[in-house]
Structure formats: C-alpha cells, structure tokens
Structure 1
Amino acid sequence: MELQLKRQSVAINETLCRTTVEQPIECDALLPDYCPDIVKILRCEVTPILTGNQVSGSQLTVDGVAAARVFYLSDAGCLRSAEYKIPFSRVVEIKPSSSRPVVRVSPSVGYFNCRAVSPRRLDLRGAISLSILVTACREEDVVAGAEGMGVLTRGEEREVTRVTGQEVRPFTLREELELPSDKPSIRLPLRCSGFARITDKKQVAGKIVLKGELKLHVFYLCDGDDNQLDSTDHTVPFSQILDVDGMEEQTRCIVSLQVSSLDVQPKADPDGQSRVLALEAVLEAKVLCHRNETIPLVSDCYSTQYESSCQQKTVSLGRLAEAVDESHVYQESVDLPDGAVRILDLWCRVQGEEFSAEAGKATAAGRLLISMFCSMEDGGMEYFDKTEPFTHEIDIDCQRPMEFLGEFSILDVGFTSSGSGRAEIRCEIGITGPVYCSEPEAVLTSLTVDEEHPKEKDPSVSLTIYFADAGENLWEVAKRYNTSMEKILADNGLTGTVIGEKRSLLIPM
C-alpha cells in the first residue's frame, strides 16, 4: 500500500508588532469669544480618543484626537471651561502579513502641561502614549495522519482558537433630556461624562444584538447666577444591531464599548426655560471574533517496514481560555482636603494599566485617579486629586502559559457627603478582554519513506524481553524495537503510555 499523507492547515496567531510609542501633542489655543478671561487655571483634563487605524503593507497608521478641557477661574472668581480637540496621527512599522491583522491600541496620557500665555491665550504641550499590539492568523501546513508502508504515527487532538476577525461599529445616540424639577435651569455645561454599559448581548445569523445604557453626568453653570453650580445624571437606554462579517453560530465574540464623542447642549423648553439637554453621543462597539477548532496533530512517526525520515517544527498553539467581562468596585469613605467645605463635582479615570495571567489566575491592576472640585472655607474653589491602587483577580481554568489582553472602562462614578468633613466615593470599573493560553507543540511538517531500503528483520526472533525503567515512554521503546506501541500495551496488559515503575516488558517483533 502506497504512503498516504493527510495534511491539515493549522492557525498560528503570530505577533506582527508589540511596542509602545510616544506621540507629542501641541496646541496654541485661544479662548472662545463667549468665555471670560483666565485668572487661574485649576485643571487641564486630557482624554485621548482613537478615531481609527489602517494597515497598509508594513505600516500601521493610528489616528486619534486628544480632547483637552481646561478648567479655570474667571476674574469674577467663577468656574469656566473650554475644550480643544487636537488631532494626531502616528505611523508604526510592523511585520507584513498576507492575512487581515487584528490591531489593538491602548492610549494613555504620558504628561500634559497647560500654561496661560495671556488672559485669552493658552499653550498646551504634552504627549500621548500608545501601546500597540498587532497580530495575524498565519496558516501552517502540518501532517495530521499517515497510512501505508508500515508507517505508525504518534499524535493527539488539540483544541485551538482561531481569531477570525475584528470589527469596529460606530453608532450615534440622540436624545433630548429634561432636567429634574428640583434642578435649576442650565446656562452652560462645564464638564460632561458618559459611561456605556452592555446589559444584554445575543448572536443571530451574522449579527449581534446589543442592549445597553449610557449613563450621562453633566456638571453645569446654572442660569441666572454666575456662582451657582449644579450637576444632573441621566440614563439613556439603547438597542443596536451590529453586522459582523463572517460570524457563524459557533463564533465566540468579545464586545466592548467606547464613548468616542459626547456633545451636550442646553435647549429651551416650551416655557422658554433652559431645562432641556440635547444629547448627541457617538459610541463605538469593538467586536473580537473567535472560533474553536479541534485538530489532529502528529508529533512523531516511523515505519516498521522501511527506513524513513521526518521533519518536525515547534509551533505555539493558542486557545481562548476566558472571555473576561467583569467589574471591580472601589468604595471608600475619605476625608475632604484641608479647607474644603464640600465636593462640587467628582470623576475618575484609570492610570498605569497592568494585565497579567499565570498559574490559573488573571490579574488586572491599575491606579484610580480620583479628581474633584471643592468649595473652600474662604468662598473660593480648588481642584484636588488622589490616586488609589487597585487589583482584581480572576480564576482561569488553565495551567499553561497565558496572556491577558484586558482593558478598563469606567462604568459609574458617584459620591455622597457623609458629614464631618468626609465623603463616600464609589467607582465601578469594567474589565474586559480575552485571556489566551498557549503551549509549544512539536508538529510534523513532512514525512518520507525510502522503499528502496527495507528494514532487516530476524525471522527467528518473535519476542524480546526488555527491562524498562520508571518514566520511560512506550512510544520510544516501540520505535527503538521497530514494533507497534499498541502491541506492547496489549501483550503486557498496560493502559498508560508511560512506565510507572521499573519492570520487564514483552516486546513482540
């Protein structure tokens, strides 16, 4: 019988680029005409927002906007703010690939300085840090089985995960929200934040049906009084159907949300009062698709009839161990800063992100930056912040080497004054992302049998006694004596392929 080889295409997730680059941000800005002059800058808050990326050959282009909001005191001692959107683009060299790559970019603020050159002119300087990971699925052709010419193979089935694609789907929410009856009318929004959360997800026929909510917080200047500040919170539910190319019934999708744009404008109600908020928010749903496959792998072979040779290669086979979708709640009672009477507004962001996985456990760690505006005993206003470290651990059913490609998002922030110069602060942090486990596997890439050189056998020998040591592998024993491992197992009443203790073996020839 001629040699018949069965070949299999195996998906190998290959890293094309893993780097961190610093992107300078510069802006010479003027205050809008409707803003009063600057007397004192309290805070410059910078949020990096990615607007897209594109791979062309050996280059990755990352586009984004650094949204800088400057909070300052006017000559009347009132809090004001102005926002500036500074676009940026960065080109990074990557290893070219014939397949569609999966791009992951995590932006963070490296440093940022804001200086008032004059009462109406600002100098903004800083840098955005971009952590970039680009991977692609490479096909490796391996031997999955062989028959004929006395060939025996050693192999087993392995479950691997193929990353089938990545999609980014933006959608827009538009809503008109009325202020609660106990809130004063709005003159001007000073700071707005939106937190997007997925409450339900279903996969049907190449589509993902998302249900969720956007929590909106608006800190604003009240109408009719330059010194009166207030805030309002609203929850906007949404439902969205996302088309995902190539998604099948068995595809496992990880979906995360990002608020890429948030605009809130005051609007008059039927009575002419500025008590309506016109909201326009752009959300981006990022979908990462996986498909599990069970593949037969051959790691070694030999022929009992002819001389043979094979080529082996070590590859790293990855599997999706866990699709993390959890939250971590930070809650603490804190003392107000010295001289502070009460908190006017408070918000949070995560810095110093660190994700790791080992020994059956994934860890997400970071530093929570808590920022606040406070009214002071002297009647003024100041900005304060504090940093709190946090760690969140997740049990993972895998003891192999792992990698956690996580990301954080703020899901909710709140505070209440507890009296006696203290406040209760609560922040919910979303943690999402895949945990991949991998292990090097020896695979067979080629096999040749030389039928012109048959193996010599002694017809007078039908059985050999072999004294095996504990821990010896029966496959290696069978290969050495040019026989079948299955025959050794049957003749010796064994079930395992590794010798448990030192003993003699009957080797059929």
Structure 2
Amino acid sequence: MELELERTEWNGFDTILDTTVCREETLEAIVPDACPDILRICDVEGTVCLAGKEAQEGRVELSGTVHAVLLYLPDGAEGMRRMEVSLPFTCTADAAAITPSCQVMAVPRIQEADARLLNPRKVLVRVGLAAEVQVFAPAIQQICGGVTEWEKDGVEQLSEQYDTYVTVCVQEKTFTFADDLTLSSGKPEADELLKSRAYIRCGEAKVIGNKLIFKGETQLQLLCRAGDGTLFTAEFELPFSQIMEVSGAGEDAGCEVQVILTDLDCTMDEGDGRMFSVSLGLLAQAAVREERTLRMLTDAYSTLYPLTAERKTYTLHQLMDHGEKEVTVRELMETGGLLTDVSDAYACVGPVTQSREGNRLTLIAQLNVTALYQGEDGNMGMLTRPLQAVCSLELPEQSLCSCHCFCTAPVFAAAAAGGLEVRFPVCFQYTALSGRSVAGISGITIDESAPLDHANRPSIVLRMVGEGERLWDIAKSYGTTAGDIIQANALEDDVPADGRLLLIPRKR
C-alpha cells in the first residue's frame, strides 16, 4: 500500500548554462559617395545593440547589430572624417538541457574592432564580440515533508530543515530614454559629432510587493570635432528609474539587474553646434534570488510492517557571497615619442577568467584600451594595448562564482613622459554559490500482508552509544522508537552522550 505524503511544491529556476561566447564578424564596406577617399584609418570603435535572444532545443541564439564608426584622414582634405558601418551578428551557445521554455540573460560586448584599407574607397571591417550568456530553466519540484497518517501504520519519520538559495524569478523589460543635451560653456562649439559611447550601470534594485524598482545611470561620452579641426570629448550623466513586474519573491530578495543597449542614436542639432539629441533603447534583465527554508522527509521506517522508501536527490545551493568590487586600472602606454594631446580613449572588456589558490579566487578581465592622440609632429596616431583588470575574492574552495565585468566610467588619458597614462574603473559584479546533494524520500509503500513479528526479539538490549550516533539510528536498527528509548532511560533530550549505555526496549 502506498502511503499519502505531505508535499510542498517548490518553484524556481535552475541555471543550466553560464558561459561567455566569442564571435568575430567581418564586412567589406564601400565609402559613401558623399565622403572623400580614405588616406589613413585612425580609429575603429563599435557599439553593440542586442535585437533578440531565443532559447531553442539544445541551444540559445543571440542576434543584433554592431554599429562600427571609422575615423579617418581624407585624401586631399583637412580634418578628421567619420564613416559608419553596420555589421549584423548571430551567435549561439549549446547545452542539451536548453528548451524553448528557458529564460535567457545576455550581455554582449565589443572586445576589439579594427579595419584594413583595401583601396581608397573600400575597407574591410572586423569586430570581435564577447557575449555573457546565462540560461535559466523553470524548475517545479515537489518536496515531501512527512507522512499524513503515520500513527496507524506505526511509521516513524525523520524530517529535516534545509536552507537553500534559489532563483525565484527571471524577468526583463525594455524601455527608452530620450533627452536634449547642451555642451557646457567650457567646451568649444562642435562642427561635427564623430562618435558616441554609453557606460550603463544599475546601482540600486529592490523588490517591493510584486514590483522590482531599479535605478541607475548612463554616462554618455561624445567625441566631437571643433571648427578648427581639433577633437574634444564631452560627458553627460543620464539617470534612469524603472519598475518591473516580478513574482514569487520577498522583499529581502537579492536582485541582479543587467541593463544593455538595444539602440543608440545621438545627433547634433542642425545649425547649433552646442545642442544634441540622444535616444537610448535599453533592455533590463533581472534575476531575483532569495533564501528559502525547506522541510524534507529524509528517512522513515515502520514498527508494524515492512516499509520501502523511494528516494530522490536534490541539489541545494547556499549563498557564499555576492556584491560588487571596483578596481582601478592604471597603466603607462608607451608610444616611443612625445605627445602634445590625447583626443580620445576607451576600453573594451573581453572574457573574464578565474584562477584559484585555496580560498583565494582571482578574477581576471581581459581589456583592450585604445587612445587617439596627436604627436609632436602634429599627426594623429592611434594606440591599442591589451591590459588586464584583476580582482581577488576570499571564497571557500567548493564555491562556484558567476561574474559580470564592465567599465563604469570613461577612460581618463593624458600625455606623460614616454607615452600616455590611462586610468579607469572596472567593476566586477559577482555571485558565489556552493551546492550540496540531499537525498529525500519521494514515495513510501508498506506491506500490510506481512506484519513484523517482534516476539523473537529480546525484551531489553543493553547498547553503547557510538561516536556521533543519533538516537534515530539506534531506534531504527532495533525496530523501536526514539520515544520509547528516551522513556526507558529517563533521557532529557534525544542526543545521548557518546559511550553511554542505553536500555533498548522491545516494541510491543
């Protein structure tokens, strides 16, 4: 006969993929008729805009567009010119457990971008992408907490409590931001807008009721050309605040929110070199996690009938640490000559690798830093150097760490002896979990046709408690109950001292 069990349904998400996918795209582009011939390419920078992400059977697919801007010196004309090239991309990640019902969080970035001049009217553009991908599968499990009518069948049961850290909600929201911007009085009037880049950071996220409220800001940096041909940058802070619907989370839940670009459009107002219009398409992706306490039936036996228990193994996670750690990258980039001015500088963040020595986990982000400068001969030059950002964390060896890395502010660059000095902040956003397997009972059957016979057992047994032995284990091995042993030995609790002699009464 199958016994009825108390079951609690546990809903959440399992992380079935957490990886970084790298992809390279190339495109031959023709210089537009309205633009002069290219004499020399000075700089190439890309902005990645995510258009879609889809979970399929066994894989996840990301798609979007890289908007690459080439800055070049024209043949037979003065002043820096720009040319924009759009490169569509598609990248995939495979895992057997992925199904269309999975939720996907993706953060694509540009690792590097360059271009080669094929002829004065044609260029070959290459961009390298790195996309952080997390895939969450809905998980609905039933946890057995105990036997409903245990007394009539003589069932003794052991239920234990476990704390587990679970992803309870994965949600997203698209939103837009638009504003008119004015150059400060300390900046010259712009003759042309050459490039724009956005640094996006979500600084605060909180669950209130069934709403997730998150706030952050976009630091927008513009590279402009003045009327005299000189280049200058301008920065603007664009704060945002949004509300997202979430479910199944308490107000103490931890919220990880990633905000990425789906579109970036910045234009200079016609006839006014001090006014700009900006429009941002943004996608907020949120994973909400919280600690839950589960009561699980882990063992059972009957003093009246033979009992068979079916077991199921559950993986429970514990939060070891989470947060953000910001490090400052400072480096002298040698140029081999004197510089008179640094016009622009930016950093591209590549994959993050991990290494461990005992409890020390080291996160290393690969960076490509590019600077556009003017040498003492008056010519424009471009310098790109690979750098690293290093973050150390103290975490137990058995923990697994998931990390997002991004620049939080524009790169500061200045001429220095022998080259140029760059300095900028890099943020490591991390969550470290440890996992353990717990076996719980998922079903119980008893055989009422063959009742247990206790007549041939001794009425009393003298038994010494082994080291770390539980009263439950002793009672189960002799077919009696922990309550009977406590009563027979006048114990005050169910944790007898190691080495103590106990009277084990026969079950009547």
Q: TM-score, normalised by structure 2?
A: 0.86
Structure 1 match to 2:61: 61
Distance 1:207 1:142, change over 3 A: closer
CA contact under 8 A between 1:143 and 1:445: conserved in structure 2? yes
Q: After superposition, what is the alpha-carbon deviation per residue over 1:245-297, rounded to whole angstroms, capped at 9, x for unaligned?
A: 666645543222223433221225xxx54111222222222111234432211
**Quick check: 1:470 aligned with 2:467?**
yes
Structure 1 match to 2:265: 263
SS of the equivalent of 1:412 reads coil
> 2-side partners of 1:302 and 1:107: how far apart?
54
> 2-side partners of 1:196 and 1:129: how far apart?
17
Give 1:196 deviation, angstroms: 2.1
> 1-side partners of 2:500 and 2:92: how far apart?
64
Range 190-199 or range 15-24, more displaced: 15-24
Range 153-162 or range 298-307, more displaced: 153-162
Distance 1:503 1:358, change over 3 A: farther
CA contact under 8 A between 2:18 and 2:134: conserved in structure 1? yes
> 1-side partners of 2:367 and 2:245: how far apart?
35
Give 1:160 deviation, angstroms: 2.6
Structure 2 match to 1:329: 327
Structure 2 match to 1:121: 122
Structure 2 match to 1:230: 232
Distance 1:54 1:33, change over 3 A: same
> 1-side partners of 2:453 and 2:397: how far apart?
43
Superposed, which structure 2 residues align to 1:361-376 within 5 Å?
Answer: 363-376=362-375
Gaps of 5+ in 1: none
Give 1:476 deviation, angstroms: 2.7
Distance 1:210 1:437, change over 3 A: same
Distance 1:161 1:307, change over 3 A: same
Distance 1:128 1:344, change over 3 A: closer
Count of residue pairs the alignment pairs up: 500
Superposed, which structure 2 residues align to 1:44-59 within 5 Å?
Answer: 44-58=44-58
Gaps of 5+ in 2: none
In the alignment, residue 50 of structure 2 is paired with which amino acid?
Answer: L
Structure 1 match to 2:275: 276
Give 1:143 deviation, angstroms: 2.5
Q: After superposition, what is the alpha-carbon deviation per residue over 1:100-123, rounded to whole angstroms, capped at 9, x for unaligned?
A: 423233545577663222212112
CA contact under 8 A between 1:186 and 1:222: conserved in structure 2? yes
In the alignment, residue 427 of structure 2 is paired with which amino acid?
Answer: G
Give 1:167 deviation, angstroms: 2.2
Q: After superposition, what is the alpha-carbon deviation per residue over 1:435-485, rounded to whole angstroms, capped at 9, x for unaligned?
A: 333211111111111122222213884431123442444433322111223
Structure 2 match to 1:204: 208
Give 1:411 deviation, angstroms: 0.9
**Quick check: 1:436 aligned with 2:394?**
no
Give 1:340 deviation, angstroms: 3.5
CA contact under 8 A between 1:197 and 1:411: conserved in structure 2? yes
Distance 1:411 1:283, change over 3 A: same
Distance 1:26 1:283, change over 3 A: same
**Quick check: 1:183 aligned with 2:187?**
yes
Structure 2 match to 1:297: 296
Distance 1:333 1:104, change over 3 A: closer
**Equivalent pairs: percent with the same residue?**
25
In the alignment, residue 364 of structure 2 is paired with which amino acid?
Answer: A
Distance 1:99 1:198, change over 3 A: same
SS of the equivalent of 2:105 reads strand
> 2-side partners of 1:454 and 1:210: how far apart?
62
Structure 2 match to 1:6: 6
Distance 1:476 1:248, change over 3 A: closer
CA contact under 8 A between 2:177 and 2:281: conserved in structure 1? yes
Q: After superposition, what is the alpha-carbon deviation per residue over 1:350-398, rounded to whole angstroms, capped at 9, x for unaligned?
A: 22313579977765321333221121122212111333323223456xx
CA contact under 8 A between 1:215 and 1:234: conserved in structure 2? yes
Pairing partner for 1:153 from 150, 154, 157: 157
SS of the equivalent of 2:36 reads coil
CA contact under 8 A between 2:158 and 2:297: conserved in structure 1? yes
In the alignment, residue 122 of structure 2 is paired with which amino acid?
Answer: R
**Quick check: 1:137 aligned with 2:138?**
yes
Q: After superposition, what is the alpha-carbon deviation per residue over 1:108-140, rounded to whole angstroms, capped at 9, x for unaligned?
A: 557766322221211234554545442313223
SS of the equivalent of 2:447 reads strand
Pairing partner for 2:404 from 404, 407, 422: 407
In the alignment, residue 392 of structure 1 is paired with which amino acid?
Answer: C
Q: After superposition, what is the alpha-carbon deviation per residue over 1:322-362, rounded to whole angstroms, capped at 9, x for unaligned?
A: 442x2413153636522141322111222231357997776
**Quick check: 1:31 aligned with 2:35?**
no
> 2-side partners of 1:181 and 1:215: how far apart?
19
SS of the equivalent of 1:391 reads strand
SS of the equivalent of 2:38 reads coil
